[in-house]
Chains A and B, each alone.
Chain A
Amino acid sequence: MTDSTTVERPLGWHLEGPLDYGALVTDDFRVHRSVFTDPKIFEDEMVRIFGGTWVYLLHESEIPEPFDFQTRRVGRRPVIVTRAEDGEIHVLLNRCTHRGTLLCPLETGNQKRFQCAYHGWTFSNSGDLTAITYPDGYREDFAKEAYNLGRAPRVQSYRGFVFCSFNPDVESVEAWMGPARTIFDWAVDRAGGDDHVKMVKASTMEYRGNWKLQNDNNGDMYHVPFTHRSTLTMTRQRHGAGKSLDHFKGDSSPMTVRDLGNGHKMIDQRPSIDSVWERARPIPGRETQAEQLIARIGEQRARQYLEYVGRAGINLILYPNLYVGGNASLLVYEPVAVNRTFVHSYIALLPGAPPEINALRMRFEEDFINIGNRDDNEVFERLAAALGDIPEMPWIDVSRGWRTAGETVEADESLSGRVTYETGIRASYVRWRELMTKAPAMAVGV
């Protein structure tokens, strides 16, 4: 093991060769500050993490019809996710193969072809170059098919959730999920199954800090009484005990955090949440919509449906970029720069549910984003404001719970810890070190 107290990169290391990424996460779970602040490391992450493993793109319900498309970023790579006439999903690099122009500037739409605004090269929605302007200008042996759009070599839809990878050798999504798959399936089943959701974009939060801060935070319950003190205080003052985060009672609660392998982690809040609906902070229309629903379909069925208002008691984070809150609510992390991140939130309309439930779900989606998340973002920005500027203090610590009696190995070989432990966060840094120390053979299909 490298002596972690002396590892500070030499000046100009990036000119001399690759950094020893293995030394930046120590075996006693300290993480080097440069992992959050160094633009060169960020660049390598965009290749080795956001290219080397599976990255979540979108839900199939966002491109339901032939020729529908949505644009996304895979790391920083701009892509167009299209549904072809035959229903197949393609992940195309949003870059004209002629001179490199962004081909499609729109977020979403329905188009059979994409035509470059610069010289008119035209591509089908499955990526084939269909027309070159004035083709006579090219030599006879010019291979047009070599100029099809670049594409992610691996695309897989798992239960309606579309992932892609630029690593042709990546394992299947099922294998990559590992023990996390059971939790993921539970969440999809609970919210009505594969085809019974219509995912809609909610909003995008932005903070001035590294993408891993949000990823870590979604697997962290330790911060709740401090970061969310305003939320806890206001909620108790205004709505009494037992609402929102009030079920957190430190490590005396039966909740756990888990290291699910491959960097995936979760907080399991379900043991402390008896009723999602009863624990939801009052949202606009709570009383009127519930009463209307009860009057129409009866108390018992209405109660069942109302349990779909609010998140379902899990924070499942599939490394690197997807958070599943249960009840078909998602966060997707988009790294913009080493010190800038977008967090996109999505909520599904449940077409099988009564309209009152969907209206309440929309209002609930606005709840924690506006009441709680902004204090998280503030903390990320404070972290970014200090961590990068003190070269004499290069390390942060994520060892809470490590080698204590509170961590146990579960039957599915995942590691379970008390709810305030950094067990899940460690999972992500072990994975970070694994992915960053090997450069996969990346490929772009055409």
Chain B
Amino acid sequence: MQVEPEMLLAEEDVRYVNDELYEDVFRFYRESSEWTGPGSHEPEPEAVVVREARLLDQRNYESWLDLFLPRCVYWVPGREVVGDPREEPALHFDDHRRLVDRVALIRTGFLHAQTPPSVTCRMVGSLESGRHAAGTCDVFSSVLIDAYRGGAHVQYAGRQFHRIAETQDGWAIQYRVLLLNDRAGSQGNITFIL
């Protein structure tokens, strides 16, 4: 676009980038990066899915675990055509104990594969939902995960199915199934939680 001479000459306020502004912007960044809720504009329980993505990106794994029911399953199949998980291994088929194991593994500080950590950004979209039964709701979505580490970006994309259950304290994840597009292909460093 051609810049008109009068734009270059226009009076602008150039005197506001002062210490007060630096402090305010930096405070805004800190509060935003650590922000934990109350939640998105999506109605519950769809908001749980969006919240989960944010907590994982923040690597706030303890709060992420709090989203799950004590009797939960986190399943990432590893086959193009998914069969009975009792007869085929998955990339992950985790109960609550195994989810805590994986968070504890990261928190030891000795997980070389997350030293330094993967920096991730998730986009959750195409949210649809249907009531399943009394007190539960199934939420279907697409997710795109960009993970940056060691000079390289890796992308993961897939569909995810969440069964969200109503509890005394609100909605919680009972089942999460993540169906990666490349689930049957080779997987590199997936030690951050997908």
For the complex, is B123 an interface residue (Cβ under 8 Å from A)?
no
Give residues 169-194 of B contacting A (CB, 8 Å). 184-191
Task: Determine the chain A residues whose CB is within 8 A of the CB of B188 once the complex forms.
Answer: 205-208, 377
A202 to B183 alpha-carbon distance, docked (Å): 11
Task: Determine the chain A residues whose CB is within 8 A of the CB of B78 once the complex forms.
Answer: 202-203
For the complex, is B166 an interface residue (Cβ under 8 Å from A)?
no
A358 to B111 alpha-carbon distance, docked (Å): 30
- Judging by beta carbons under 8 Å apart, are B101 and A365 in contact? no
- With known contacts A230-B108, A238-B101, A374–B113 Cβ distance under 8 A: yes
A369 to B188 alpha-carbon distance, docked (Å): 11
For the complex, is A431 an interface residue (Cβ under 8 Å from B)?
no
Using CB atoms, name the residue of chain A closest to B103. A234
Task: Determine the chain A residues whose CB is within 8 A of the CB of B85 once the complex forms.
Answer: 362
A309 to B83 alpha-carbon distance, docked (Å): 21
- Judging by beta carbons under 8 Å apart, are B86 and A358 in contact? yes
Task: Determine the chain B residues whose CB is within 8 A of the CB of A206 once the complex forms.
Answer: 186-188
- Judging by beta carbons under 8 Å apart, are A374 and B101 in contact? no
Question: Max chain A CB contacts within 10 Å: which of B91, B97, B186?
Answer: B186
> Would you give the shortest CB distance from A321 to chain B, in whole angstroms?
16
- With known contacts A377-B113, A378-B113, A366–B93 Cβ distance under 8 A: yes
- Judging by beta carbons under 8 Å apart, are A203 and B187 in contact? yes
> Would you give the shortest CB distance from A235 to chain B, in whole angstroms?
8
Give residues 357-384 of A contacting B (CB, 8 Å). 358-359, 362-363, 365-366, 370-371, 374-375, 377-379, 381-382
> Would you give the shortest CB distance from A46 to chain B, in whole angstroms?
19
Task: Determine the chain B residues whose CB is within 8 A of the CB of A366 once the complex forms.
Answer: 89-93
Of the stretches A69-77, A281-289, A386-394, A414-422, the one at the interface is A281-289
> Would you give the shortest CB distance from A270 to chain B, in whole angstroms?
24
Of the candidates B87, B95, B191, the one whose C-beta lies within 8 Å of that of A374 is B191
Give residues 256-297 of A contacting B (CB, 8 Å). 281-285
- Judging by beta carbons under 8 Å apart, are B108 and A234 in contact? yes
Task: Determine the chain B residues whose CB is within 8 A of the CB of A233 once the complex forms.
Answer: 108, 110
> Would you give the shortest CB distance from B64 to chain A, in whole angstroms?
17
For the complex, is B146 an interface residue (Cβ under 8 Å from A)?
no
Using CB atoms, name the residue of chain A closest to B191. A374
- With known contacts A206-B188, A238-B100, A229–B110 Cβ distance under 8 A: yes
Q: Mark B23-65, 1 if CB is under 8 A from A, else 0.
A: 0000000000000000000000000000000000000000000
Give residues 92-113 of A contacting B (CB, 8 Å). 107
> Would you give the shortest CB distance from A104 to chain B, in whole angstroms?
16
Task: Determine the chain A residues whose CB is within 8 A of the CB of B98 once the complex forms.
Answer: 283-284
Task: Determine the chain A residues whose CB is within 8 A of the CB of B108 once the complex forms.
Answer: 229-230, 233-234, 237
Task: Determine the chain B residues whose CB is within 8 A of the CB of A281 once the complex forms.
Answer: 101
Task: Determine the chain B residues whose CB is within 8 A of the CB of A229 once the complex forms.
Answer: 108, 110
Task: Determine the chain A residues whose CB is within 8 A of the CB of B150 once the complex forms.
Answer: 381, 385
For the complex, is A445 an interface residue (Cβ under 8 Å from B)?
no
Task: Determine the chain A residues whose CB is within 8 A of the CB of B82 once the complex forms.
Answer: none
Using CB atoms, name the residue of chain B closest to A344. B186
Of the candidates B86, B97, B186, the one whose C-beta lies within 8 Å of that of A204 is B186
> Would you give the shortest CB distance from A77 to chain B, in whole angstroms?
19
Give residues 98-127 of B contacting A (CB, 8 Å). 98, 100-102, 104-106, 108-113, 115
Interface of B is mostly: loop
- Judging by beta carbons under 8 Å apart, are A230 and B87 in contact? no
Interface of A is mostly: helix
- With known contacts A206-B186, A237-B104, A349-B87, A284–B110 Cβ distance under 8 A: no
A123 to B139 alpha-carbon distance, docked (Å): 48
Using CB atoms, name the residue of chain B closest to A347. B89
Using CB atoms, name the residue of chain A closest to B115. A378
- Judging by beta carbons under 8 Å apart, are B95 and A203 in contact? no
Question: Max chain B CB contacts within 10 Å: which of A203, A208, A379, A385?
Answer: A203
> Would you give the shortest CB distance from A131 to chain B, in whole angstroms?
30
Q: Mark A3-16, 1 if CB is under 8 A from B, else 0.
A: 00000000000000
For the complex, is B19 an interface residue (Cβ under 8 Å from A)?
no
For the complex, is A227 an interface residue (Cβ under 8 Å from B)?
yes
For the complex, is A327 an interface residue (Cβ under 8 Å from B)?
no
- Judging by beta carbons under 8 Å apart, are A227 and B112 in contact? yes
- Judging by beta carbons under 8 Å apart, are A342 and B111 in contact? no
- With known contacts A203-B187, A207-B188, A370–B110 Cβ distance under 8 A: no
A207 to B154 alpha-carbon distance, docked (Å): 13
- Judging by beta carbons under 8 Å apart, are A205 and B186 in contact? yes
A283 to B100 alpha-carbon distance, docked (Å): 12
Could you list which residues of chain A lie within 8 angstroms of chain B, going by C-beta atoms? 107, 200, 202-208, 227, 229-231, 233-234, 237-238, 281-285, 342, 345, 347, 349, 355, 358-359, 362-363, 365-366, 370-371, 374-375, 377-379, 381-382, 385
14 additional A-B pairs beyond A229-B110, A238-B101, A281-B101, beta carbons within 8 Å, are A205-B188, A229-B108, A283-B98, A284-B94, A349-B87, A362-B88, A362-B89, A362-B90, A362-B93, A366-B92, A371-B105, A377-B189, A378-B189, A379-B112
The 6 closest A-B pairs by CB, nearest first: A206-B186, A359-B86, A284-B95, A202-B89, A229-B110, A230-B110
Could you list which residues of chain B lie within 8 angstroms of chain A, going by C-beta atoms? 78, 85-95, 97-98, 100-102, 104-106, 108-113, 115, 150, 184-191
Enumerate 22 A-B pairs (CB-CB under 8 Å) in ascending A order.
Answer: A107-B184, A202-B78, A203-B78, A204-B185, A205-B186, A206-B187, A230-B105, A231-B105, A234-B101, A234-B105, A237-B104, A238-B100, A282-B97, A355-B86, A359-B86, A362-B90, A363-B93, A366-B90, A366-B93, A370-B191, A374-B189, A377-B189
